Amino acid sequence: MLGLQLEKKRIFLDDKEEKRELEEFLNTQNIRLDENVEYTVGVFNGDELVATGSLSKNTLRSIAIKPEYQGTSLLNKVISHLISEAYQRGNTHLFIYTKPESAKSFNFLGFYEIARVNEVVLMENISDGINSYLKEISTQTVNGKNIASIVMNANPFTNGHQYLVETAARENDALHLFVVSEEASIIPFSIRYELVKKEIEYLDNVILHKGGSYMVSRATFPSYFMKDSQEVVKVYAELDLTIFKKYIIPTLNINSRYVGEEPYCEVTRTYNETMKRILEGNNMRVKIVPRLQSKRRAISASFVRELIKKDEIERIKDFVPISTYEFFRSKDAKDLIENIRSNTGRH
């Protein structure tokens, strides 16, 4: 296009006018501003916003090009700028969730498909990224007729988690236990992982894994190009479980996945139902274990966090293993407890 005077500028979302202009532009492309973004760039032709993209940690989000400018180099400009910004922030392994019709364009820009469901494709900028992760976990492959798996946030690790792990370990030759690595929970991964590790050391047939970048977190799953919350839950679950089925199951010879029954959260219940639909079959089964109860209520990590928030640390003793209890009574947990008290999110 002749006469273009293109200029890249950062869009500051704490500026109400800049944010309003951005949201109006995205709305014309039938997408929303992702609530998790940390950095946004715009490309302007004079005063007119014609392209934009955002970062959330190591994912590229809310990318849009005005229709009459599509097919130009604008997409490349936006993606190149976001990659450079991500690298400066220390994130070199990048991911993007995009619509299936856009996947080819991102492939030309150096992104490789990991998995897709009807509404979304997950891509990464390292050609052998997923294979490197599989090679890493494959060193812990074990022989056996019954090989189980569990994926958990453990935010924090509770007696309910412990019961689920013990049940799966008892009923199988081996259990692969994945702790979700993504920092989408109020309790940092390093703490969650160590608390789980301490409480399962006595179980000889449990193999502990870091979830890596391929266990999709619901808390950070992008929803900016989806119509409603029910669709978000459905697509998130389908993508996460498709990755698990396509890559993790065959790598570790897994033939069952255990999950706790969900009496409270409809979102998690929907995930469990989707798990049965996608994973079961071909000698693979999903076992939903009744939730362990204490004090006449099902144990949940969210309830434990609520007790911590209310400064009722002593009461969590009825719902968590001793290591978790002792940690939250220690000086090391002081800052974390303050974060939990001030947190208004679900996680």
Residue 228, CB half-sphere, CA atoms under 13 Å: how many?
1
Q: Quote the mean pLDDT of the chain.
A: 90
Q: For residue range 154-191, what is the model confidence (pLDDT) as tens digits?
A: 999 999 999 999 999 999 999 999 999 877 678 999 99
pLDDT of residue 2: 44
The token pair that represents 57 in the structure block: 């940690």
pLDDT of residue 218: 66
Q: For residue range 158-168, what is the model confidence (pLDDT) as tens digits?
A: 999 999 999 99
The token pair that represents 260 in the structure block: 């706790």
CA distances from 224 to 23, 26, 75, 98, 169 (A): 11, 9, 18, 10, 39
Mean pLDDT of all residues in 321-341: 93
> What is the percent of the chain with per-residue pLDDT over 90, rounded to a whole number?
68
What is the value of pTM for the model shown?
0.89
pLDDT of residue 1: 47
Q: Is the pLDDT of residue 229 over 70?
A: no
Question: Domain 6-91 maps to which CATH number in 3.40.50.740, 3.40.50.150, 3.40.630.30, 3.40.50.300?
Answer: 3.40.630.30
Domain(s) of CATH 3.40.630.30: residues in the chain: 6-91
Domain(s) of CATH 3.40.50.620: residues in the chain: 131-342
334: CB partners within 8 A, 6+ apart: none
Separation CA 32–CA 29 (nearest Å) = 9
Q: Is the pLDDT of residue 224 over 80?
A: no
CB 124 within 8 A of CB 214: no
Task: For the beta carbon of residue 243, count every other beta carbon within 10 angstroms.
Answer: 18
Q: Is the pLDDT of residue 317 over 90?
A: yes
Task: For the beta carbon of residue 309, count every other beta carbon within 10 angstroms.
Answer: 14
Convert 291-307 to b/e letters by CB count within 10 Å (16 or more is b). bbeeeeebbbbebbbeb
Kindly write down the DSSP assignment for every residue of 301-347, as one continuous string. Answer: HHHHHHHHHTT-GGGGGGTS-HHHHHHHHSGGGHHHHHHHHH--S--
> What is the percent of the chain with per-residue pLDDT over 70, rounded to a whole number?
93
Q: Is the pLDDT of residue 342 over 50?
A: yes
Mean pLDDT of all residues in 280-293: 91
Residue in 40, 55, 15 with CA at minimum distance from that of residue 222: 55
Separation CA 103–CA 120 (nearest Å) = 9
Task: For the beta carbon of residue 144, count every other beta carbon within 10 angstroms.
Answer: 12
Q: For residue range 194-220, what is the model confidence (pLDDT) as tens digits?
A: 999 999 999 999 999 999 889 877 666
Q: Is the pLDDT of residue 283 over 50?
A: yes
Q: Which residue has the higher pLDDT, 258 or 235?
A: 258
Coil, helix or strand at residue 174: strand
Q: Torsion angle, CA of 325/330/336/338, rounded to 10 degrees?
A: 100
Specify the fold of 131-342: Rossmann fold (3.40.50)
Evaluated on CA atoms 276, 239, 183, 191, the torsion sign reads: positive
Task: For the beta carbon of residue 249, count every other beta carbon within 10 angstroms.
Answer: 19
34: CB partners within 8 A, 6+ apart: 54, 56, 61, 62, 222, 223, 224
pLDDT of residue 33: 86
Residue 299, CB half-sphere, CA atoms under 13 Å: how many?
26
Identity (one letter) of the amino acid at 163? Y
Coil, helix or strand at residue 59: strand
Q: How confident is the model at residue 246 (pLDDT cuts 50, 70, 90)?
A: very high
Q: For residue range 97-152, what is the model confidence (pLDDT) as tens digits?
A: 888 888 999 999 999 999 999 888 999 999 999 999 999 999 999 999 999 999 99
